[in-house]
Amino acid sequence: MIAFPANSQQVSLAKWMTSEADFSLTPMSQNISPSGTVRGVIIASPSRQDPDYYFHWIRDSALVMDTLLTLSPGASNQSPWLLQTFADYAAFSRELQLTTTLTGLGEPRFNVDGTAFNGPWARPQNDGPALRVLTVLHSIQRFHASTALLSTILQTDLRYILTNFQVPSFDLWEEVKGDHFYTRLVQMAALRAGLDHFDPGWNIPRQDLQTAITSLQNDLDLHWRSDKKYFSATLNRVEGAEAYKFTDLDTAVILGVLHANLDSDNFSVRDDRVLATASQLETVFLAIYNVNANTYSTPYPVAPAIGRYADDVYFGGNPWYITTSAFAELNYRLSLSLAKNKSYMITELNLPFLKKALALRSEANVIKLKTGVNLKGHPHLLKLLQQGLKARGDLFMARLRLHTPPEGAMAEQFERNDGHPVSARDLTWSYASFLSAFESRKALSK
Ligand code: NOJ
Ligand code: NOJ
């Protein structure tokens, strides 16, 4: 049984996406500095029990802020609001950097009064400072302005990354301690962005950045499992989730690629190893979630719902809004990337992913994808693939629509059997990832 077919039949997908994007801004802004919290707090969700997400997470807040900076100016007519929101985020971030915690800057979440959360938790989580670097640098680009405060935040986080990038930490799912593809990739992206914006006045040796980047690049390559044809999420596992997590195929890899947003071929949406990983994830989730069973009749075509990893048990192990949005965004971003840089080889690794996109074009039965072909020399095929990737992204958006109640609220997960929303309600990050996917779709028509 699918949760929300009735509402969904009425309007076109494009209309739904636009109204969902407009709607999202309201619950998101309600989760930013809500009354009773310190200014600059972004709560993960208003839910205070089962689960209690009434905290400021370094990861969630950086990703949410980053998405707000991405929104096309004017789209939400909120520029003064955005400036103020970012200023609050930056001031609060600096306070948190100066707060004494159990794991320094690796502390994953804080109380909403700005004090350290010292209860038991999976710590440290070393993706946080890296994501914050990327968000702060994004703001400097967006507002064409830097400040001494921002420069201090950047230096503090970059120094933390340099000191800790070889130290195992907990993953973004707060379950496993080890060396993670996600954490390493966002750290590498943060150091690279830091190097691009390097200020000789910084108290950081330039060469240290370069050395750490090279080392992380090599480490990231070690995650490629040529036998299994996917990027393994974690190497050198130390502890955590021993009782249930046995797979190493995890959507965290795709999230890492999107959040790092590299413009190189390696570890970007163009990397055929990334696309091989995505294809396999899709196959796995298609098989295990009842909402994906082909016996279900949906009111319109949809792509499979995507979760974190196959043996997830959190709230029963369900598809998530953020991971399903990520698959939409992956397709959109690859489409855009092919439009900008047409030189792209079809390989055995990216073939399954590209085939799914091409299958959505009616010409697909006459045109065959062959490995060893560079799209640069085949403009018609290139065009079809660009269109097919956009159409495929839309199918993931249609999937989200199917599990979003008429008023537009997005929780953390939707139940694997009947598709109704579960876990934390109004998860700030769910809205942000939907908006982020929608923005990348808009970039396609520019
Ligand atoms: C386990 C969940 O999988 C993880 O994502 C969550 O943050 C922690 N428990 C804490 O609730
Ligand atoms: C659980 C997720 O696994 C983690 O990534 C997130 O930071 C927290 N929930 C808060 O949303």
- At position 150, the amino acid (one-letter code) is L
| Residue 410 Rama label (left phi>0; alpha psi -120 to 50; beta) | beta
Residue carrying structure tokens 């690049």: 217
The 3-state DSSP composition of the chain as helix, strand, coil percent (nearest 5) reads: 50, 10, 40
Query: 80: cis peptide before it, omega within 30°?
Result: no
Q: Model confidence over 57-107: pLDDT tens digits?
A: 999 999 999 999 999 766 545 589 999 999 999 999 999 999 999 999 999
d(CA 12, CA 148): 47
DSSP-derived letter for residue 169 is E
Instruction: Report the residue among 55, 314, 427 best suited for mutation to probe ligand 1: largest number of ligand atoms under 8 A from its CB.
Output: 314
**Cα dihedral 229/233/239/245 (nearest 10):** -70
Question: Residue 393 in contact with residue 331, Cβ under 8 Å?
Answer: yes
CB atoms within 10 A of CB 442: 15
Q: Model confidence over 22-36: pLDDT tens digits?
A: 999 999 999 999 999
Q: Model confidence over 403-422: pLDDT tens digits?
A: 999 999 999 999 999 999 99
Burial grade of 263 (CB within 10 A; 0-12, 13-18, 19 or more):
exposed
The predicted pLDDT at position 11 comes to 77
- At position 194, the amino acid (one-letter code) is G
The predicted pLDDT at position 1 comes to 43
Instruction: Report the residue among 50, 175, 427 best suited for mutation to probe ligand 1: largest number of ligand atoms under 8 A from its CB.
Output: 175
Question: Residue 123 in contact with residue 140, Cβ under 8 Å?
Answer: no
d(CA 70, CA 431): 13
Mean pLDDT of all residues in the chain? 95
The predicted pLDDT at position 445 comes to 80
Is residue 199 annotated as a catalytic residue, yes or no?
Answer: no
Residue carrying structure tokens 């499979």: 304
Distance of CA 265 to the CA centre of its chain: 18
Instruction: State which ligand 2 atom lies nearest to the alpha carbon of 44.
Output: 11
- At position 176, the amino acid (one-letter code) is V
Catalytic residue among 88, 127, 171, 271: 171
Radius of gyration of the chain (CA): 21
